[in-house]
Structure 1
């Protein structure tokens, strides 16, 4: 990305994606977009390292200020070598167990039991959907009775809500990530906390609770290190006999170049598995082409799809699920 493209990415982050979710990041996103000096530093980084979430998390990880856009830019420039080192050593990684609320209706409807396989698994927090509780709209919460995690989701449309007594039956949990994180490692947990947007205390509390679930799971998820295109076939092949292999991902493929995305979608069509994708518009054009209506542009959304067929728009952190009337 050029400086102009990078500026636009930060401006959209501040005026669209964080709008109504994090006032601090609304201010910071616009301030970065307006700073020619900071944009010059960002453009010198590899393209995948220029993204807003990564810069902002790096500054928070280093205890820099985020309440003021001006203070953020000044601090980041004054401490650039430290910020740069954190950016180069880390990646934006899954930290939101709340996304399981958008996945649950599909997971519960598939032939049981399930062998879950997450690409871009990070610390594996989304591999425990059966260990969480859920509340859709104003309905009573249901799910794992003693879970410290409750995912809350507002809905529209004919969502095929799972019956409280028909949670997914998960018999194996596996994943792949370029840099797997350990739920029991304090520094890994600190990095994940840094990725939570300021002002979102509920998300932070849910993250900490989900880390506790992952740390105390008797049979924790197996997450292998590597490229998803190089490891996905072996993970599908390793699913227990009699289980339905389910490959899923949320906000992961956007970090891959187009040719890697095409290779992955080809694999999903050819491998003996079900495929749940939850990615932003423009990431998977073949899914976008099947949308029954244009994606909203006034807020951040993902497109939830099963085996390449879109079924809903979702909130980036699992807070919304807008089911299509035509979805099967």
Structure 2
């Protein structure tokens, strides 16, 4: 078990490197947590994987903490700890950020155009499935084109700043089948599941909350096939269920960091075999933080200092772009 000091460092690091400049409230809360021996001792009663800051913050907000300073936060946690602890034991961090479709779209459209077929999408770590609808969202690339679905979109446009030779599509690709895998798939029609996803949106990010609510409305109108299970066990049978007249694309975003090294390697080998298959090639898009997944040659292709907190987008194991973690930017590599 981690010690209180280790948990303290974890929350201090989150405050300094992730929350600062993005969420003043989370910066304040996590800085306070890192120096509070009573709260740290409470967190240390949980397994290490259940002590992560995003899970704790989401659980406290799910239970109903006022969005005020650390003193109010601390009093609330002490008074409601049994409820908060139960949420942390039963829920997982499943941020369902539709904005990530903005960095996936150029690759998805290029794959569909090259294959001359519509898309069958499979998302690994799908949560409620909001990223399975790239054809239903509007996009505003800067610099770059504005793209809209033929019937318009109920979701606020996804803004994405760009750099490099991004292969912008002329139109949105056709998607004929949508499926996902998750250890604990969420139901957009379930009030508690929707409320949990809202609790994971950082408090100052009102634009992301608005987008999430609208995206969940899209999901409710046409629910995808969501399979409960481990990605390494369920991916092959799910690919087999995809329609034969569509090109299958398996994708994931900010998921594999929660999988152990053996599982990541096994999944990577499976996907590279799929990509190399002659009878029915399956395309694989990986959108993960640096150091999470090796490239096709087994090497990490970019040093972390070059990424500055950005994610790496890979197509069939080859790095094609650096991106903002929530889809807010994309730098296409030559």
Say which SS state the counterpart of residue 79 (structure 1) adopts.
helix
Q: Does 1:228 align with 2:231?
A: yes
Matches within 5 A, 1:54-133: 54-110=55-111, 111=115, 112-133=117-138
Partner of residue 17, structure 1: 18
The 8 Å contact of residues 55 and 88 in structure 2, kept in 1 or not, is answered as: yes
Partner of residue 161, structure 2: 154
Partner of residue 53, structure 2: 52
The 8 Å contact of residues 25 and 66 in structure 1, kept in 2 or not, is answered as: no
The 8 Å contact of residues 28 and 66 in structure 1, kept in 2 or not, is answered as: no
Task: Return the TM-score normalized by structure 1.
Answer: 0.91
Q: Does 1:263 align with 2:275?
A: no
The 8 Å contact of residues 130 and 168 in structure 1, kept in 2 or not, is answered as: yes
Deviation at 1:34, TM superposition (A): 2.2
Q: Does 1:214 align with 2:219?
A: yes
The 8 Å contact of residues 141 and 160 in structure 2, kept in 1 or not, is answered as: yes
Q: Does 1:317 align with 2:333?
A: no
Partner of residue 278, structure 2: none
Deviation at 1:124, TM superposition (A): 0.4
Deviation at 1:268, TM superposition (A): 0.9
Say which SS state the counterpart of residue 313 (structure 1) adopts.
strand
Whole-angstrom CA distance in 2 between matches of 1:280 and 1:28: 25
Q: 1:204 to 1:249 in 2, by over 3 A?
A: same
Whole-angstrom CA distance in 1 between matches of 2:306 and 2:78: 35
Partner of residue 246, structure 1: 249
Partner of residue 291, structure 1: 301
Deviation at 1:22, TM superposition (A): 1.6
Task: Return the TM-score normalized by structure 2.
Answer: 0.89
Structure 1's unaligned 5+ residue stretches are none
Whole-angstrom CA distance in 1 between matches of 2:328 and 2:202: 14
The 8 Å contact of residues 305 and 312 in structure 1, kept in 2 or not, is answered as: yes
The 8 Å contact of residues 97 and 207 in structure 1, kept in 2 or not, is answered as: yes
* Deviation string, structure 1 residues 97-140 (Cα, Å, up to 9, x no partner): 01100110110110331110001111100000001000011555
Whole-angstrom CA distance in 2 between matches of 1:43 and 1:190: 26
Whole-angstrom CA distance in 2 between matches of 1:160 and 1:7: 44
Range moving further from structure 2, 273-282 or 32-41: 32-41
Partner of residue 195, structure 1: 200
* Deviation string, structure 1 residues 157-191 (Cα, Å, up to 9, x no partner): 2211111x2x1221110111111111111111111
Q: 1:2 to 1:133 in 2, by over 3 A?
A: same
Deviation at 1:254, TM superposition (A): 0.9
For the aligned residues, what is the CA RMSD? 2.0
Deviation at 1:19, TM superposition (A): 3.0
Partner of residue 2, structure 1: 2
Deviation at 1:296, TM superposition (A): 4.7
Aligned length: 320
Range moving further from structure 2, 181-190 or 30-39: 30-39
Whole-angstrom CA distance in 2 between matches of 1:79 and 1:188: 20
The 8 Å contact of residues 55 and 93 in structure 2, kept in 1 or not, is answered as: yes
Structure 2's unaligned 5+ residue stretches are 275-280
The 8 Å contact of residues 64 and 72 in structure 1, kept in 2 or not, is answered as: yes
Deviation at 1:293, TM superposition (A): 5.0
